[in-house]
Amino acid sequence: MVTDTLQSIEKLVSGSLQVKKGYYYAVLNMDKQKWISTGIKCTKGNKRLAEQALEQIRIQYTVNQKCEKESEKTKDKTLFSDAILRWVEKVKKKQVKTTTYAAYARNVRIIADYFAQKGTLLEAITFEEIEDFYEWLMTERNDKAETVHRYHTLINQCINYHYKRTKRRNPALDVELPTDSEDFQPGFYSEAEVELLIQKVKGTLLEIPVTFALCYGLRRSEALGIRWSSVDFDNKRFTINHIVTNACIDNKQILVQTNSTKNNQIRSYPMTPPIEVILLEKWNNIQENRRLFKSAYLEEFADYINVNEIGDLVKPEYVTAKFRSTLEKFGLRRIRFHDLRHTCASLLLKDEPNLKVIQEYLGHKVLQTTERYLHLVDSETKIRATDIMQGKIFGT
């Protein structure tokens, strides 16, 4: 190795012999003059030995300099910010749904922007720097511990991906994750608040999304994804097998319509008389709008239940904004649309203590509950759960 390096060296570090305190020193002309003792006394007959020592020292320091320069050339100068952006685009994008990728990409952009300002290298990132980032999230952005854990998952997976061919230890493994005694507590309405809300959205574009979220615990995307082809009026049932949601891809908002729910579960529910009435009223309303607007009526979304007067699909952002303004208009306590799902669960739990029933009813995937237990919740249990919710909301 040294021989190969020597052969590629055109010129040795320059230097000379100097005497200091009775000993020969090799004085090398580097960035700054360097004095190195040869250990040879300045006595008669030793100068030749000192000259040989000087030559060896020049060779050794020249080789060291050459190796350092080569090492610097091969050193990975990849910024961590660039690495995580490429990773989420080339790796995670292929592994997850479009909506999940959009959430990942949004969080990764925040990670990348932070570390880009720090100039942190991929191969040099430390657990202290990662912990500083988490502290920044909590102090500057007021993020909760649960949110920080999501960022940590992305950082950990990214570093694992890039370090897997090396023997380097992933510094994310040494991070002390924050805890938060004030973690988010979902809001939910009382029965009286639910009754008032149902009255206020009656006959509006919010009626079906709000009612189905309350009665069946549907997510916004699931409520907007209900289609006529999934409703069986003969057998009084409907199926949740489609979603409508937003996703931000490459800084652009896109509408996602897909035959997939959050946990890839297809759920079927009983259609009680109050729900059937609401759906039939919507159907008649759509037919009237078709006659009224004629060729101007949009048929692109003909299978969707949640459409406006001209047949255009009711968008997720409309529901969120309209729900907020409706609560403000009528002086109702402010909650998120997703809290209607929590309201369903909280009201249901008062009369149905079996958590497996709640999990099946809401389609909520819990780690401690495996798929083999779900078959224990039969259709009769769902009917009982549905009857409970109809009584809570419609008083039937």
Helices 145-163, 127-140: axis angle to 10 degrees equals: 150
Percent of the chain at pLDDT exceeding 70: 83
Task: Return the closest-CA partner of residue 309 out of 274, 277, 282, 276.
Answer: 282
Task: Return the closest-CA partner of residue 255 out of 289, 285, 224, 295.
Answer: 224
pLDDT value for 374: 34
pLDDT value for 364: 58
Residue 16: C-alpha distances to residues 47, 204, 390 (Å): 12, 93, 97
CB 319 within 8 A of CB 244: no
pLDDT value for 355: 67
Report whether pLDDT(383) > 80: no
Average pLDDT, stretch 348-369?
A: 64
Please give the domain boundaries of the chain with CATH numbers for all domains.
2-74 (no CATH), 80-174 (1.10.150), 191-394 (1.10.443.10)
pTM, rounded to two decimals: 0.56
CB 122 within 8 A of CB 165: no
Instruction: Name the least confident of 60-64, 69-73, 199-203, 295-299.
Output: 69-73
Token pair recorded at residue 93: 């994008």
CB 223 within 8 A of CB 231: no
pLDDT value for 234: 96
Report whether pLDDT(373) > 70: no
Helices 273-293, 379-394: axis angle to 10 degrees equals: 70
φ/ψ of 265, rounded to 5, equals -105, 135
pLDDT value for 204: 97
pLDDT value for 2: 44
CB 120 within 8 A of CB 265: no
Average pLDDT, stretch 362-389?
A: 52
What are the residues whose beta carbons fall under 8 Å from the beta carbon of 25, sequence distance 6 or more? 17, 18, 19, 35, 36, 37, 38
pLDDT value for 376: 36
CB 92 within 8 A of CB 104: yes
Helices and strands counted in the chain (H then E): 16, 8
pLDDT value for 6: 46
In the β-sheet with 23-29, what is the strand arrangement from edge to edge?
Answer: 15-20, 23-29, 33-41
DSSP strands (E only) in 266-367: 267-270
Residues belonging to the chain: 396
pLDDT value for 350: 75
